[in-house]
Structure 1
Amino acid sequence: MRISCLSQFSRPLLFASFLMGLPQLTFSQTPISLENCGTQINLKAPPERVVTVGQATTEMLYHLGLHTKVVGTSNWFTDVDPKFQEINAEITRLADNFPSFESLVSQKPDLVTADFLFSIGPQGVVGKREQFHTLGISTYVLASQCIDQDSSRGTDGTRTALFSLDNLYKNIRDLAYLFAVEEKGQALVKSIQAREAAVIAKSQRYKHQDVSAVFWYSSAALGVDPWVAGRKGVPGWMMSTLGINNIVTSDEVWPMVGWESIAKANPDIIVIARMDRRRFEADDYQKKLDFLRTDPVTKAMDAVINNRIVVMDAHAMDVTLRSIEGLETLSLAIDKMDFSGE
């Protein structure tokens, strides 16, 4: 063979020339495989067209610099992070709440992301994962939906262990991997870790073991049993981190508890969710405040009498990039409260 006559020096040169004639292989062309909530995701390359069903995944993609890949969003609870207002305004909003299956598919995505299994999952209100897969559309549900959580029990699932930011980091790393931007993902994780460490270091200077709280997310109507935070979700993590006692002992993420029971427990602090969603009257935090201050049962609670009511971004109460902001908000609010008279 002719190649056998080449010198040791010329063989590498010939091989290099051969490689130069081939299309360059990049990381983006490396097949991507990920197990996600019991479903295997297999991609030939990072997605180019993404539709999001949930604000959490939307803002994660924006923070990872992937807004150019997002062709549609839906299921918003609050305004987008201010730093992304201009970016978000250029992207189609399919629905403020849940989009129809047809409107989502019409965007011709190669990936659909979802914050919750109840939106895209076994009983998905938007659709089942298999419905998308049949059309050649991959799906990703935030991994935190399947970590220490049984989504089949309770309205919003039941926790089997206390939430930690490791659950959030898993979400970030998954999305960074799917889009081949792992370095950006790790940088985002490190920034959140630093913020948590700062709050923890500060909280060591004061003790709140004798302080109790309740988180009120919303209610189907004012006056009926509210949805409040269970002991193991994101608000439970906030309270545990700051040494605050949660008056709610349920493992459900958002159980319904009667106002009479809450008033009997008489929490020192009430945290209420602020959101733009208006599915229920109690979604409006101003109406929450009015109710607390005028209802015969609630207005007698110490937290209401002493105005120890904290208004918090509803998005911070779920597994999102704003969870750390919620912890910071609660910590700062407690700093300004006076418990000396009790």
Structure 2
Amino acid sequence: MPIARPARPAALFVSGLVLLTGCGAADSPGSAGSPGSRGADSATAVTLDDCGHTVRVKAPPRRAVSLNQGTTEIMLSLGLADRMAGTATWTDPVMKGLEKANAKVRRIADSNPSFERVLDADPDFVAASFESTLGKGGVATREQFEKLGVPAYVSPSDCAGKDNTGDGDGARQKPLGIDAVYGEIRDLSEVFGVPERGDKLVSELKQRMKKATSGIDASDVSLLYWFANAQSPYMAGCCGAPGVITRELGAKNVFDDTHEEWPQINWETVADRDPDVLVIGDLTRKSQTAESAKKKIEFLESDPVTRNMTAVRKKRYVLVSGQALNPTIRTVEGVEQVAAALREFGLAG
């Protein structure tokens, strides 16, 4: 399950279950709800086509509230701490290099805050990484904010090519591309009137991605991404942020035959797939079992079903932040960490 969402039930896979197959092409630029469908109404007003909603921002925000860590770290990376009235839904330490900026911004809540607590911050703009945060059962709906004159924005990475209408964490008809994250950066930099900062950040991330993947060949390597929960583990399907990491490295996700974002899959099925490497979310929240990497590894090495898996016997673990497994700027960090580990394990050029 994604790091910034409340827990929601999802059906368990059982051994031998036939999974969905195949993934389509990544979203093309300019498609509905994707980066590229934006425009300025005037010198200061900005209009965005965002996840099927029109978001109108009359002037650069002065009291923005970010409701998910991924969006928060983009704002902080753009140097917008002085324009933020609050943040919420934290499950990892803030990204390195942003500690001082983050300390200047009020933390409204560690998890989903109430609508009233957000309004107490007197926001003039709210942003979220997930549609569920600004939907029924979340903090509040977009409409509730907009009725009060507060524009509400959702990251395009959670809606472009994705169906969030089910009970789980959604399913992707098309693989997510890192360009959706770059699109969010450009959207927010435009909203705040600092487009040059957005261009600079995107350029830096692209350079890091190029350096991390240069000369690597992981075509014979199979990966498994474990986010949380020991009893009914959430493993990555084909096409979310872990899919970005997998494709950038040319590797294979052992569960790339399901389009569900974070299906719950039993350990017998996992052991049967027997991945070469385990990419493990090292979370600091405490809403699920086995959140930290330490707890996950203790489980893997003691459970009779998992302890004989190849990756466990050879201790091929890659520890990444939960945010690296969500569509965020830290997905680039995930690519860097997995690439470095594969080289260290002698599994890639």
Q: TM-score, normalised by structure 2?
A: 0.85
What is the DSSP-based 3-state SS (H/G/I as helix, E as strand, rest coil) of the residue aligned with 1:48?
A: coil
Which of 220, 224, 237 does residue 210 from structure 1 map onto? 220
Does the Cα contact within 8 Å between 1:28 and 1:46 map onto a contact in 2?
no
Moved over 4 A (4+): none
Partner Cα separation in structure 1 for residue 137 and residue 104 of structure 2: 28
Q: Which residue of 2 aligns with 1:22?
A: none
**Cα deviations across residues 78-105 of structure 1 (Å, max 9, x unaligned)?**
1112322122222211111100111001
Higher RCO, Cα 8 Å, sep 6+: 2
Does the Cα contact within 8 Å between 1:50 and 1:71 map onto a contact in 2?
yes
Q: Which residue of 2 aligns with 1:53?
A: 67
What is the DSSP-based 3-state SS (H/G/I as helix, E as strand, rest coil) of the residue aligned with 1:299?
A: coil
Give the letter for the 2:109 counterpart.
Answer: A
**1:297 to 2:305 alignment:** yes
Q: Which residue of 2 aligns with 1:14?
A: none
Does the Cα contact within 8 Å between 1:28 and 1:45 map onto a contact in 2?
no
Give the letter for the 1:234 counterpart.
Answer: A
Partner Cα separation in structure 2 for residue 339 and residue 38 of structure 1: 42
Partner Cα separation in structure 1 for residue 100 and residue 346 of structure 2: 41
Give the letter for the 2:270 counterpart.
Answer: I
Between the two proteins, the alignment pairs up a number of residues equal to: 307
**1:110 to 2:124 alignment:** yes
What is the DSSP-based 3-state SS (H/G/I as helix, E as strand, rest coil) of the residue aligned with 2:74?
A: helix
Does the Cα contact within 8 Å between 2:223 and 2:252 map onto a contact in 1?
yes
Q: Which residue of 1 aligns with 2:27?
A: none
What is the DSSP-based 3-state SS (H/G/I as helix, E as strand, rest coil) of the residue aligned with 2:247?
A: helix
What is the DSSP-based 3-state SS (H/G/I as helix, E as strand, rest coil) of the residue aligned with 2:75?
A: helix
Give the letter for the 2:162 counterpart.
Answer: Q
Partner Cα separation in structure 1 for residue 43 and residue 199 of structure 2: 21
Q: Which residue of 2 aligns with 1:337?
A: 345
Does the Cα contact within 8 Å between 1:117 and 1:124 map onto a contact in 2?
no
Does the Cα contact within 8 Å between 1:154 and 1:255 map onto a contact in 2?
no
Give the 3 Å change call, closer, same or farther, for CA 124–114 of structure 1 in structure 2: farther
Which of 250, 253, 271 does residue 243 from structure 1 map onto? 250
What is the DSSP-based 3-state SS (H/G/I as helix, E as strand, rest coil) of the residue aligned with 1:298?
A: coil
Q: Shift in Å at residue 129 of structure 1?
A: 0.8
Does the Cα contact within 8 Å between 2:65 and 2:125 map onto a contact in 1?
yes
After superposition, where does 1:1-342 map in structure 2 within 5 Å? 30-121=44-135, 123-153=136-166, 155-203=168-216, 207-219=217-229, 222=230, 224-248=231-255, 249-338=257-346
Comparing 277-286 with 29-38, which one deviates more in the overlay?
A: 29-38
Q: Shift in Å at residue 109 of structure 1?
A: 0.4
Partner Cα separation in structure 1 for residue 157 and residue 211 of structure 2: 24
What is the DSSP-based 3-state SS (H/G/I as helix, E as strand, rest coil) of the residue aligned with 2:126?
A: strand
Does the Cα contact within 8 Å between 1:98 and 1:126 map onto a contact in 2?
yes
Does the Cα contact within 8 Å between 1:28 and 1:180 map onto a contact in 2?
no
- RMSD over aligned Cα atoms: 1.6
What is the DSSP-based 3-state SS (H/G/I as helix, E as strand, rest coil) of the residue aligned with 2:49?
A: strand
Give the letter for the 1:86 counterpart.
Answer: K
Give the letter for the 1:138 counterpart.
Answer: P
Does the Cα contact within 8 Å between 2:213 and 2:339 map onto a contact in 1?
no
**Cα deviations across residues 193-239 of structure 1 (Å, max 9, x unaligned)?**
11122223221xxx3322211000001xx3x2210011111111211
Does the Cα contact within 8 Å between 1:29 and 1:44 map onto a contact in 2?
no
Q: Shift in Å at residue 28 of structure 1?
A: 8.9
Q: Which residue of 1 aligns with 2:10?
A: none
Partner Cα separation in structure 1 for residue 208 and residue 167 of structure 2: 32
What is the DSSP-based 3-state SS (H/G/I as helix, E as strand, rest coil) of the residue aligned with 1:300?
A: coil
Does the Cα contact within 8 Å between 2:189 and 2:195 map onto a contact in 1?
yes
Does the Cα contact within 8 Å between 1:216 and 1:271 map onto a contact in 2?
yes
Comparing 154-163 with 325-334, which one deviates more in the overlay?
A: 154-163
**Cα deviations across residues 42-78 of structure 1 (Å, max 9, x unaligned)?**
2221111111100111111111111101111000121
Q: Shift in Å at residue 279 of structure 1?
A: 0.8
Comparing 295-304 with 32-41, which one deviates more in the overlay?
A: 32-41
